[in-house]
Amino acid sequence: MKLVTAIIKPFKLDEVREALTALGVSGLTVTEVQGFGRQKGQKEIYRGAEYETNTVPKIKVEVVCPTGQAERVVEAIQTAAHTGSIGDGKIFVTEVGHAVRIRTGETDDAAI
């Protein structure tokens, strides 16, 4: 099993979710996060005053999938989240050693 974690622009969430649903992904976790990369923050205007923020709002999407499906999940996210401008985000793939569905006790692939 693999955990695919994507940090994307907030307005791309619906497109990413639709792309993953089309692949047959049965569940995902979405979290509102803030951070910075090469952008180093951004300038905002609030009530006519310009100020600089150290972090940028992003969305973190996490999907646990069978190892054989991970590359297709990454490609779907990359295609759906791409704008071609700075701050499109990153995708990380990590190994999942064990998973348990709390309600039924199913484990590993059966749990996802």
The DSSP-derived string for 19-43 is HHHHHT----EEEEEEE-STT--EE
Domains for the chain: give ranges and CATH numbers: 2-111 (3.30.70.120)
**What are the distances in angstroms from CA 25 to CA 38, 52, 76?**
31, 38, 11
Are 27 and 75 spatial neighbours (Cβ–Cβ below 8 Å)?
no
87 CB burial (10 A radius; 0-12, 13-18, 19+): middle
Structure tokens at 48: 């006519």
pLDDT of 53 reads 72
- Supply the pLDDT for residue 70: 96
Give Cα 112 distance to the centre of its chain.
17
- Return averaged pLDDT per consecutive 10 residues of the chain, 112 residues in all: 97 97 94 83 66 83 96 98 91 96 93 88
pLDDT, position 65: 95
Interatomic CA distance for residues 3 and 25, integer angstroms: 12
Residue 101: predicted pLDDT: 94
Q: What is the pLDDT of residue 55?
A: 82
